[in-house]
Amino acid sequence: MAGADGSPAGGAGDAASAPIFAALDLGSNNCRLLIARPCSDGFRVIDAFSRIVRLGEGMAGPDSQLVLSEPAMRRTVKALRVCANKMRRRAVASARCVATEACRRAANSRGFVKRVRRQTGIALEVISNRQEAELAVAGCAPLFDPEAENILIFDIGGGSTEIIWVALGAGARPRILDAWSLPCGVITFAERFGSDRFSPDTYRAMVDHARCLIAPFETAHAIAAAVRGGRVQMVGTSGTVTTLAGIELDLARYDRARVDGSYLDVATMRRLSRRLADLDCDARAAHACIGRERADLVVGGCAVVEAICDAWPVRRLRVADRGVREGILYDLIAADDAARAAQAAAGDA
């Protein structure tokens, strides 16, 4: 396992008696869990779980009519039971389990949250766009270039794409200037444009659709001018970007330690994206870094990445296989440290 910064886990700083923390991120597509123990350089991951559950499948249309389907809820509860069992076996001292876009938008999300608690024991917290952005920034912060003035983070999910515009200052914590949730994700694109082989015209239509959704964010912040001035680092934290990085690295199987923190040239990204769009679903599924579960979704994500790079023409992306879960773990560890310090101070008084 790797430490929070991608370095090998373990070492003299680890304390076997330290409390164990868990972070669970339930999105529109994935259910992901990290279980970790604090160590000298952050935390050491001791267990993890990830499963594509497609909770947001079929959620297209006006917000008032959006509901989580019964099959999607059953798949998700099954995955959450695995997470709950892992947390029990690891004797987790403190956990935070969050749900994002699908549960934010679905009219029946309150009932689903109650069902999850009843059937798994997990207390899901449906967080706002802003809370999700804050956790993503905290989780990705170790990858920020200290020479940059601004960081542009994007996270392509199943039902939405999160765009976060961040200011950096010498010695200061990263500051979120704005964060938007755009209604385009890998599930919504697959349902709208198909999921097998894509003609050049269909693929371009996907890119253009995403660009139209992105345009108001550019109008609000004039990010392209900052990009042209060389003052912006772009960080992509999504399965699409990590998949493209794994393909470019020619990995026989996905390896987080090699992907997280790597760089992906935009020209390479465009070439790989269009190659994937030209393949049928079976051919994409045969690639070790894609597999059957992602094969029908990855091209939609590629179109969103292209649209982002069209709007904000950076030369390369920093690839992040991290985000909300890591942000949660940092927060849990910091809160525990503060509580221990207060307890020690009270004992000395």
Structure tokens at 142: 């170790």
Residue 144 lies in a domain: yes
For the chain, what is the domain count?
Answer: 2
Query: Are 82 and 144 members of one domain?
Result: no
Q: Residue 326: which of 51, 113, 48 has the closest Cα?
A: 48
Write the pLDDT tens digit of every residue in 77-125. Answer: 999 999 999 999 999 999 999 999 999 999 999 999 999 999 999 999 9
Q: Does the pTM exceed 0.85?
A: yes
Query: Are 135 and 102 members of one domain?
Result: no
> What is the pLDDT, as a whole number, of residue 62?
57
Query: Are 109 and 162 members of one domain?
Result: no
Query: Are 281 and 305 members of one domain?
Result: yes
Residue 12 lies in a domain: no
3-class state of residue 27 by DSSP = coil
CB of 259 closer than 8 Å to CB of 249: yes
Query: Are 120 and 190 members of one domain?
Result: no
> What is the pLDDT, as a whole number, of residue 172?
78
Return the CATH number at 305: 3.30.420.150
Query: Are 134 and 83 members of one domain?
Result: no
> What is the pLDDT, as a whole number, of residue 227?
96
5 sits in the region (left: phi over 0; alpha: psi -120 to 50; else beta) called alpha
> What is the pLDDT, as a whole number, of residue 12?
35
> What is the pLDDT, as a whole number, of residue 16?
66
Q: At what angle do helices 298-311 and 266-278 cross, to 10 degrees?
A: 150
> What is the pLDDT, as a whole number, of residue 27?
93
Residue 304 lies in a domain: yes
Return the CATH number at 71: 3.30.420.40
Domain of residue 197 covers: 130-324
Query: Are 243 and 278 members of one domain?
Result: yes
Residue 347 lies in a domain: no
Query: Are 184 and 262 members of one domain?
Result: yes
> What is the pLDDT, as a whole number, of residue 307?
97
CA distance 153 to 306: 14
Positions of the chain with pLDDT under 70: 1-16, 60-64, 349
